[in-house]
Amino acid sequence: MPLEVKVGPPQLSIHEGHAVLLSEPDGQIKWPSAKGLYFRDTRLISSWTLYANGVPWALLNGGTPTSLDARVFLTNSGFASEAGQVKPHTLGLMLSRHIDGGMHEDFDLINYGIKPARFNLEIALRGDFADIFEVKSGHVVRRGRILTAWSDDKQRLTTTYRNKDFSRGIAVTVSNNNSPAVYANGRISFAIELEAGCTWHSCLAYDLLDGDLCNSAPMDCTKDSDKSGASKRLAAWKSAALKLETSNEDFRALFEQASDDMAALRLPVVEAGDSQFVPAAGLPWFVALFGRDSLIACLQSNIVYPDFARGPLQVLGAMQATERDDYRDAEPGKIQHELRLGELAKLKLIPQTPYYGTADATPLYLITLHHAWCCSGDGGLLTQHLKTAERCLDWIDKCGDRDGDGFQEYASRSSAGLANQSWKDSGDALVYSDGSLVKAPIATCELQGYVYDAWLRMAEIYDALDDAARAKKLRAKAATLFARFNEAFWDEETGFYAFALDADKKKVLSVASNPGHCLWSGIVPADRAGRVVERLMRPDMWSGWGVRTLSADHPAYNPYSYQNGAVWPHDNGLIAQGFKRYGYAEEAALIARDVSRAGSFFALNQLPELYAGIRRDATNFPVQYLGANVPQAWAAGSVFSLLQAILGLQPDAPHKMLYIDPVLPSWLHNLTVRNLRIGEQVFDICFGRTDEKTRFEVLKGDPACVVLRELTVWSDQLKRSSSIKVSC
């Protein structure tokens, strides 16, 4: 039997809301590192170590049973004590943690020796209160003052940081033990006297402070964590979300973990007095509101949880730019890129307050609005967000098209802005064929596709709102863009689309994954789609673990780079949906097979943000990218994209219909979806593959409302007017 290989970062991570704990597998935070307890973009604890009479404990095993909980089993090394030598491995210590607002920590000791044990249990902790941007960069600047106070009466250690009007703090309270703690020399210490066979317990509660705001730690011990508010919210999500059953264990496990991750990554955001949940981009660096990431996560997840987009649509709409601000790359009508809450943002030392340097979030907002309507059938979404949508349309025309040539271009005006403002936003991601950097302003191919798709979807929305004139105008604009794009970006010699147009409107012919998004958006003519699919599946692009971001034949290719050769699950999910949109179900299933197989190698079956683009062979496995976010919202959501590609799901809640185009591949013989909500209807549907054909049976819900329809038909219908009407 072959050895099972699991890869991933050697760490434990738990999180809830804006609180994130990253530790070593033994539960400790060893300075210096990027690990720590983070809250609202500030690292409150930068060092946390545990000792028995000054001697470190030894790790047995550590793990995270849920996104909220960690358990670590430790034993002692041998050490000298007042009562004599304590032999190794005679003491057992279980360290348990649970996050819900703040963090609760439990210590459970047992003496397995035949003699009493007397020693000091010491917890050394320190906070640097560094901004998360500076932790990531490895260059931390102390700007304010840290003060620490210990109260014997309250058994509480309070540490605060203040710089001008920015303040963070943490209060650690000891409780539930018969050994009062003392604090000295940077350590909370307990005098332990433990008879043979006896146990000792203590709790530490970590309250997280943001000025006058306190995120209180849960009071119940971790063994009762399923009673916490956060646990109940996750359970409610799981109960309401889509369920999947299949005999393919890899795909089932990947789906279940993705569903759990997407639920756990939701951030509470208060907007106009109303709390909304929005998806954080990912751990540890991107526990924040992002425009592009949140919207793509919605497009992936609406089919799993139809109300998923409500929070992002409301919050991003409320933060839509109203004026030009070059430092933040803001323009009227533009949807934000990133909002930060740490010291650097508070003091306006970075533009993420919020920052608007993204060219694709604005058309993606329109696509998400339409998709949310299709999944929920709620016409109120359209009327609620119509003004935001119309400002998005204005931005696309006036600012997104910087030079009036009919294409979307971007270039930062900010001294601290992003040079690249498409989804490939690293500084070296856009390269000419010789490896040199593309000159801005840059018009990437997928941006044109997003706008094309957004215009067609908004046309259908205007039809529903009984504004035929606006709908007709948008369809005409989409048709013009379709023709001009296919003239300007297509390269007949290579049979592929240009990656981008540069500042001189010259084609950038580097072979990259971006044209796959053009299939997803529908801007590719049917007679060219096969050539695009074939090019993306050649060995230089297809790694065997997924489509690479850049061809392995390119001078700038590096399988371990961020966006010049690595594999991104979300990229592959959208490409798979694009393949299926044009009828290439077999190729879409190949992506689904190999990305899901890659996911099975990662710890907890969590797909990371990206992994190396090395070539798959019979003896290797996916390789972790250093610094990848795990979990990450659109990486988790890629599993939902793959499911949609396999089943060809076309929700049409406004018409009370679900259209499907299922093609189960040979590696996925059976699949049942349960609790599939389309508007007010709920379906359980069983799919099976026999004689190379896919059949289905509606187990729950009205069978007349589930109809076979090829995705190519849906694409054609999107270009024509709809009969549905919504009351304003």
Instruction: Give the tens place of pLDDT for each residue, 698-712.
Output: 999 999 999 999 999
Band (pLDDT 50/70/90 cuts) for residue 1 is: very low
Tokens 């009036």 locate to 404
Least trusted range by pLDDT, from 2-6, 131-135, 142-146, 232-236: 2-6
The pLDDT of 93-106, averaged and rounded, is 97
Residue-level pLDDT at 83: 81
Tokens of 415: 């001294």
CA 39 to chain centre: 18
| CB-count burial class (<10 Å; 0-12, 13-18, 19+) for 560 | middle
Q: Answer yes or no: is pLDDT of 514 > 70.
A: yes
Residue-level pLDDT at 585: 97
Closest C-alpha among 456, 317, 460, 308 to residue 379: 460
Q: Answer yes or no: is pLDDT of 446 > 90.
A: yes
Residue-level pLDDT at 583: 96
Instruction: Give the tens place of pLDDT for each residue, 477-487.
Output: 999 999 999 99
Instruction: Give the tens place of pLDDT for each residue, 43-72.
Output: 999 999 999 999 999 999 999 999 999 999
Q: What is the pTM of this model?
A: 0.95
- Structural contact between residues 420 and 520, judged by C-beta atoms closer than 8 angstroms: no
C-alpha dist (Å) from residue 552 to 98, 101, 489, 548, 679: 44, 45, 22, 8, 44
3-state secondary structure 498-564: CCEECCCCCEECCCECCHHHHHHHCCCCHHHHHHHHHHHCCCCCECCCCEECECCCCCCCCCCCCCC
Q: What share of the chain is helix, strand, coil (3-state, %, to 5)?
A: 30, 30, 40
| CB-count burial class (<10 Å; 0-12, 13-18, 19+) for 294 | buried
Q: Answer yes or no: is pLDDT of 317 > 90.
A: yes
Mean pLDDT of the chain, nearest integer: 94
Band (pLDDT 50/70/90 cuts) for residue 268 is: confident
Band (pLDDT 50/70/90 cuts) for residue 728 is: very low
Count CA within 13 A, CB hemisphere, residue 528: 21
Residue-level pLDDT at 619: 85
Strand partners, 163: 166
| CB-count burial class (<10 Å; 0-12, 13-18, 19+) for 15 | buried
Share of the chain above pLDDT 90, in %: 90
CATH entry 1.50.10.10 includes domain 241-653: yes
Residue-level pLDDT at 178: 82
Residue-level pLDDT at 270: 73
- Cα separation, 440 vs 501, whole angstroms: 9
Instruction: Give the tens place of pLDDT for each residue, 181-214.
Output: 999 999 999 999 999 999 999 999 999 999 989 9
Strand partners, 689: 694
Residue-level pLDDT at 724: 65
Residue-level pLDDT at 269: 83
Count CA within 13 A, CB hemisphere, residue 200: 23
Band (pLDDT 50/70/90 cuts) for residue 4 is: low
Residue-level pLDDT at 10: 84
Closest C-alpha among 688, 582, 596, 697 to residue 639: 596
Tokens 């060995």 locate to 539
Instruction: Give the tens place of pLDDT for each residue, 515-528.
Output: 999 999 999 999 99
Domain with CATH 2.70.98.40 in the chain: 12-222
- Structural contact between residues 407 and 483, judged by C-beta atoms closer than 8 angstroms: no
- Cα separation, 335 vs 289, whole angstroms: 12
Give the single-character DSSP code of 492. T
Query: Interior CA angle at 688 toward 685 and 692, to 5°?
Result: 145
Instruction: Give the tens place of pLDDT for each residue, 115-128.
Output: 999 999 999 999 99
Domain with CATH 1.50.10.10 in the chain: 241-653
The pLDDT of 681-689, averaged and rounded, is 97
Q: Answer yes or no: is pLDDT of 2 > 80.
A: no
The pLDDT of 3-20, averaged and rounded, is 84
Please enumerate in sequence order all residues whose Cβ is within 8 A of that of 237, keeping only pairs 6 or more positions apart, or say none. Answer: 259, 263, 266, 305
Instruction: Give the tens place of pLDDT for each residue, 572-589.
Output: 999 999 999 999 999 999
CA 13 to chain centre: 14
- Give the CATH superfamily of 12-222: Glycoside hydrolase, family 65, N-terminal domain (2.70.98.40)
Residue-level pLDDT at 397: 97
